[in-house]
């Protein structure tokens, strides 16, 4: 169950979509204002400077409050500290629920810090004690807490932490089974991230989860990055040295090194090709970034030319490719264009706002001069700033 009013969250989402449409000049100011007026949102999300200030104030308050409570209880033994940190975690969570219910804070800085403080207090309580399988308990606890925060407060950062904690827990649990498990752990991570990506992709298409789309999209991006990282030769070799004590000397390879070289080189072009085929800019951008990482990984072990010369040569090649693509796509081809869509066809993009309103149960007219919005009971969860 969400801690926020569902209508406020839906209205916030609608406002975000309409603000984007307005800045792309898809709708006029009158239609923009009418949509805002018919989608009221009572959530408090200040600008970034105020968020930072509130976050710093919350950190200072938590530190001094914790020190004061410690002085009052005079705790000195390990069990006492464990109980005290768990108590701090419950107090922080209680304050979080109170702030959200009374003040309607949504990514306001205070609520974000309180969520992080709960995790820090719980992790500290676990690690100051002498528990068996301490790392596994820590990662599983962080995963469960972050999953609850993601579900309860629709927080994207908590979704990212839940994803990373889940991978850490499964990795630590799997590597306890022996040498074979350690050798095949990268393949396990690749399989898990691929499964998570496919699940998130399906969930993102469900209209019921529209409030969690940013969380799902971030997890999808992290899954793509982790899938490549788990197959990157540099990552596997260096982690094997550090975690599994292989003590590899310079020039020595790792078992199945040729396979990890294939993953390192082949995954970025596959991402780019898939992105071009599906017109998915996320795949294209991540593929381009990872392509540069692949080049750096190869050069780390096989230096073909000095770093300065390599940067000049590859920079010149990228400039030439970019220029050629700009000239080639100045006229749209195969669904791609260098020209911004809204500059080419504003009339078509003007329909986006109408579609948004219709999707949320608003009556609209097809006139470009005026867009009338009627009743409807649903809302969205989007922008809260002014433009």
For the chain, which residues make up each domain, given as ranges?
46-104+108-154
Lowest mean per-residue pLDDT among 26-40, 139-153, 241-255, 342-356? 342-356
> What confidence category does residue 271 fall into, taking pLDDT thresholds of 50, 70 and 90?
very high
| pLDDT, position 338 | 59
> What confidence category does residue 348 fall into, taking pLDDT thresholds of 50, 70 and 90?
very low
> What confidence category does residue 334 fall into, taking pLDDT thresholds of 50, 70 and 90?
low
| pLDDT, position 339 | 58
Lowest mean per-residue pLDDT among 260-274, 280-294, 316-330? 316-330
Q: What is the mean pLDDT of residues 96-120?
A: 91
Say what percent of the chain tops pLDDT 90: 32
- Dist CA 31 CA 16 (whole Å): 14
Cβ contacts of 383 within 8 Å, gap of 6 or more: 12, 15, 16, 18, 19
| pLDDT, position 369 | 41
Please state, in angstroms and as integers, the Cα–Cα distance from residue 263 to each residue in 1, 113, 210, 259, following that order: 41, 38, 34, 6
Q: Round the CA-based radius of gyration of the chain to a whole number and report it.
A: 25
| pLDDT, position 212 | 87
- Dist CA 36 CA 15 (whole Å): 6
| pLDDT, position 311 | 74
Task: Name the burial class of residue 305, with classes exposed (0-12), middle (13-18) and buried (19+) by CB atoms within 10 angstroms of its CB.
Answer: exposed
Lowest mean per-residue pLDDT among 46-60, 175-189, 333-347? 333-347
pLDDT reading at 349 higher than 70:
no
pLDDT reading at 358 higher than 70:
no
**Is the distance from CB of 362 to CB of 18 less than 8 angstroms?**
no
pLDDT per residue as tens digits for the range 40-78: 888 888 888 999 999 999 999 999 988 888 888 777 788
| pLDDT, position 250 | 66
Give, in degrees to the nearest 5, the angle at Cα 343 between 340 and 346: 120
| pLDDT, position 208 | 80
> What confidence category does residue 347 fall into, taking pLDDT thresholds of 50, 70 and 90?
very low
| pLDDT, position 366 | 39
Tokens of 169: 């827990």
| pLDDT, position 157 | 94
138 vs 242, residue with greater confidence: 138
pLDDT per residue as tens digits for the range 366-385: 344 444 444 443 444 444 44
Q: How does the average pLDDT of the chain come out, rounded? A: 80
pLDDT reading at 272 higher than 80:
yes
DSSP output for 261-325: HHHHHHHHHHHHHHHHHHT-HHHHHHHHHHHHHHHHHHHHHS--S-HHHHHHHHHHHHHHHHHHH
**Is the distance from CB of 170 to CB of 155 less than 8 angstroms?**
no
Lowest mean per-residue pLDDT among 112-126, 128-142, 219-233? 128-142
């Amino acid at each position: 169950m969400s801690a926020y009013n569902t209508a406020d969250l839906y209205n916030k989402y609608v406002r975000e979509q309409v603000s984007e449409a307005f800045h792309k000049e898809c709708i006029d100011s009158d239609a923009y204002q009418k949509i805002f007026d018919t989608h009221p949102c009572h959530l408090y999300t200040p600008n970034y400077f105020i968020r930072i200030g509130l976050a710093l104030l919350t950190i200072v308050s938590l530190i001094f409050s914790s020190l004061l409570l410690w002085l009052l209880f005079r705790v000195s033994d390990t069990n006492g500290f464990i109980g005290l940190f768990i108590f701090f975690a419950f107090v922080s969570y209680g304050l979080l629920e109170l702030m959200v219910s009374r003040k309607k804070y949504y990514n306001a800085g205070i609520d974000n810090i309180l969520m992080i403080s709960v995790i820090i207090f719980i992790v500290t309580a676990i690690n100051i004690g002498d528990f068996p399988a301490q790392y596994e308990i820590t990662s599983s606890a962080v995963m469960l807490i972050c999953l609850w925060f993601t579900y309860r407060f629709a927080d994207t950062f908590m979704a990212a932490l839940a994803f990373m904690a889940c991978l850490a827990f499964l990795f630590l649990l799997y590597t306890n089974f022996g040498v074979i498990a350690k050798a095949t752990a990268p393949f396990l991570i690749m399989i898990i991230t691929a499964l998570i990506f496919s699940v998130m992709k399906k969930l993102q298409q469900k209209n019921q989860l529209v409030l969690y789309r940013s969380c799902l999209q971030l997890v999808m991006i992290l899954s793509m990055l982790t899938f490549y990282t788990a197959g990157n030769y540099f990552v596997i070799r260096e982690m094997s040295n550090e975690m599994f004590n292989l003590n590899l000397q310079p020039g020595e390879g790792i078992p199945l090194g040729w396979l990890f070289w294939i993953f390192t080189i082949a995954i970025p072009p596959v991402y780019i090709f898939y992105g071009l085929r599906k017109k998915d800019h996320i795949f294209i951008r991540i593929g381009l970034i990872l392509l540069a990482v692949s080049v750096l990984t190869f050069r780390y072990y096989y230096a073909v030319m000095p770093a300065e010369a390599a940067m000049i040569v590859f920079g010149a090649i990228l400039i030439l490719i970019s220029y050629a693509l700009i000239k080639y796509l100045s006229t749209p081809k195969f669904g791609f264009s260098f020209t911004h869509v809204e500059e080419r066809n504003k009339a078509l993009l003007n329909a986006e706002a109408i579609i948004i309103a219709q999707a949320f149960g608003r009556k609209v007219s097809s006139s470009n001069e005026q867009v009338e919005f009627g009743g409807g009971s649903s809302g969205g969860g989007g922008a809260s700033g002014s433009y």
